[in-house]
Chains A and B, each alone.
Chain A
Amino acid sequence: MQPFKPVLLEAIGVPDGHSITSYKSRGGYAPLEATLAGKQPSDVIDMVKASGLRGRGGAGFPTGLKWTFLPKDHPGPIYLCVNADESEPGTFNNRLLMEDDPHQVIEGIILSSYATRATTAYIYLRYEYPKSWHRLQAAIDEAYAAGYLGKNIRGTTFSLDIYLHRGAAAYICGEETGLIESLEGKRAWPRIKPPFPAIEGLFRKPTVVNNIETMACVAQIARRGVDWFKSIGVPADPTNPRDPGSYGPKLYCLSGHVEKPGCYEAPLGITARELIDRFGGGVWKGRAAKAVIPGGISMGLMTESELDTPLDFAGPGRVGCLGLGTAAVVVIDDQTSIVDFLHNSARFFAHESCGQCTPCREGTSWSLRILERIKAGKGRLKDLDILLELGSTMGMMPGSTICGLADGAAWPMKNAIKKFRGEFEDYIKRTNPSGWMVTDPVPALQIVGAH
Chain B
Amino acid sequence: MTAQRTYLTDEMVARIEALAPRYPNRRALTLPALHIVNAELRHVPLGAVAEIAAILGLAPAEVQDTLTFYQFFHQEKPHGTVRAFVCRSVSCALRGGDHLLEHLCQKNGVEPYGTTADGELTIEPAECLGACDFAPCILANDDLLKNMTPETAEAELKKPRARAT
Which B residues have a C-beta under 8 Å from some C-beta of A?
Answer: 22-25, 27-32, 34-35, 62, 65-66, 69-73, 85, 88-91, 93-95, 126-135, 139, 142, 144, 164-165
Contact status B131-A95, CB under 8 Å: yes
- Known contacts A163-B22, A330-B94, A351-B127; A187/B133 CB under 8 A: no
Residues of A near B31 (CB, < 8 A) are 165-168, 182-183, 185
Residues of A near B164 (CB, < 8 A) are 130
How long is the Cα–Cα vector from A161 to B30 in the complex, in angstroms? 20
Residues of A near B66 (CB, < 8 A) are 185-187
How long is the Cα–Cα vector from A95 to B134 in the complex, in angstroms? 13
**CB within 8 A of B165: which of A130, A257, A261?**
A130
Interface centre among B24, B35, B134 (most CB of A within 10 A): B24
How long is the Cα–Cα vector from A163 to B144 in the complex, in angstroms? 24
How long is the Cα–Cα vector from A339 to B96 in the complex, in angstroms? 16
Question: Which single residue of chain A is at the shortest CB-CB distance from B35?
Answer: A166
A133 in the interface (beta carbon within 8 A) = yes
Contact status A185-B29, CB under 8 Å: yes
How long is the Cα–Cα vector from A347 to B92 in the complex, in angstroms? 14
Interface residues of A in 66-88 (CB under 8 A from B): 77, 86-88
**CB within 8 A of A352: which of B22, B90, B127, B135?**
B127
Interface residues of A in 224-258 (CB under 8 A from B): 253-257
Residues of A near B32 (CB, < 8 A) are 165-166
Contact status A261-B90, CB under 8 Å: no
How long is the Cα–Cα vector from A81 to B151 in the complex, in angstroms? 41
- Known contacts A163-B22, A168-B31; A87/B91 CB under 8 A: no
Quick one: CB contact mask for A97-134 with B, threshold 8 Å, 1 for yes? 00000000000000000000000100000111111011
A144 in the interface (beta carbon within 8 A) = no
Contact status A185-B127, CB under 8 Å: no
Residues of B near A263 (CB, < 8 A) are 133
Contact status A134-B91, CB under 8 Å: no
Residues of A near B139 (CB, < 8 A) are 128, 130
A169 in the interface (beta carbon within 8 A) = yes
17 contacts between A and B (CB under 8 A): A89-B91, A89-B132, A90-B91, A90-B132, A91-B128, A92-B131, A92-B133, A126-B130, A134-B165, A182-B31, A255-B133, A256-B90, A256-B95, A257-B94, A344-B93, A348-B90, A348-B127
Contact status A130-B142, CB under 8 Å: yes
- Known contacts A185-B29, A255-B91; A86/B130 CB under 8 A: yes
**CB within 8 A of B27: which of A184, A332, A341?**
A184
A276 in the interface (beta carbon within 8 A) = no
Quick one: CB contact mask for A345-385 with B, threshold 8 Å, 1 for yes? 10110011010000000000000000000000000000000
**CB within 8 A of B130: which of A87, A254, A297?**
A87
Question: Which single residue of chain B is at the shortest CB-CB distance from A173?
Answer: B70
How long is the Cα–Cα vector from A429 to B110 in the complex, in angstroms? 36
Question: Which single residue of chain B is at the shortest CB-CB distance from A189?
Answer: B69
**CB within 8 A of B128: which of A87, A261, A451?**
A87
Contact status A89-B35, CB under 8 Å: no
A29 in the interface (beta carbon within 8 A) = no
Contact status A261-B132, CB under 8 Å: yes
How long is the Cα–Cα vector from A304 to B43 in the complex, in angstroms? 47
Which A residues have a C-beta under 8 Å from some C-beta of B?
Answer: 77, 86-92, 94-95, 120, 126-131, 133-134, 161, 163, 165-171, 182-188, 203, 253-257, 261-263, 293, 297, 328, 330, 332, 336, 340-341, 344-345, 347-348, 351-352, 354, 451
How long is the Cα–Cα vector from A345 to B116 in the complex, in angstroms? 29
How long is the Cα–Cα vector from A409 to B25 in the complex, in angstroms? 35
Tell me the dominant secondary structure on chain A's binding face: mixed
Nearest Cβ on chain B to A298's Cβ, whole angstroms:
11
- Known contacts A89-B91, A297-B89; A168/B35 CB under 8 A: yes
- Known contacts A128-B85, A166-B35, A168-B70; A261/B133 CB under 8 A: yes
Question: Which single residue of chain A is at the shortest CB-CB distance from B144?
Answer: A131
Contact status B132-A92, CB under 8 Å: yes
Question: Which single residue of chain A is at the shortest CB-CB distance from B135?
Answer: A255
Contact status B135-A261, CB under 8 Å: yes
Residues of A near B134 (CB, < 8 A) are 261
Nearest Cβ on chain B to A56's Cβ, whole angstroms:
15
How long is the Cα–Cα vector from A169 to B87 in the complex, in angstroms? 12
**CB within 8 A of B127: which of A87, A165, A330, A354?**
A87
Since A169-B70, A347-B88 are in contact, a sample of 14 more A-B pairs with Cβ atoms closer than 8 Å, ordered by chain A residue number, is A89-B90, A89-B127, A89-B132, A91-B128, A128-B139, A168-B31, A185-B27, A185-B28, A185-B31, A253-B132, A255-B91, A261-B135, A345-B90, A354-B69
How long is the Cα–Cα vector from A95 to B128 in the complex, in angstroms? 12
Residues of B near A188 (CB, < 8 A) are 69
How long is the Cα–Cα vector from A348 to B135 in the complex, in angstroms? 17
Contact status B72-A127, CB under 8 Å: yes
Top 8 A-B residue pairs of the complex, sorted by shortest distance between their CB atoms? A185-B30, A255-B132, A187-B69, A168-B70, A130-B142, A168-B72, A255-B91, A185-B27
Residues of A near B73 (CB, < 8 A) are 168
Contact status A133-B126, CB under 8 Å: no
Nearest Cβ on chain A to B133's Cβ, whole angstroms:
5
Interface centre among A89, A133, A261, A451 (most CB of B within 10 A): A89
**CB within 8 A of A90: which of B90, B95, B142?**
B90
How long is the Cα–Cα vector from A3 to B87 in the complex, in angstroms? 36
Residues of B near A328 (CB, < 8 A) are 132
Nearest Cβ on chain B to A254's Cβ, whole angstroms:
8
How long is the Cα–Cα vector from A165 to B130 in the complex, in angstroms? 18
How long is the Cα–Cα vector from A183 to B144 in the complex, in angstroms? 26
Nearest Cβ on chain B to A253's Cβ, whole angstroms:
6
Residues of A near B89 (CB, < 8 A) are 89-90, 297, 344, 348
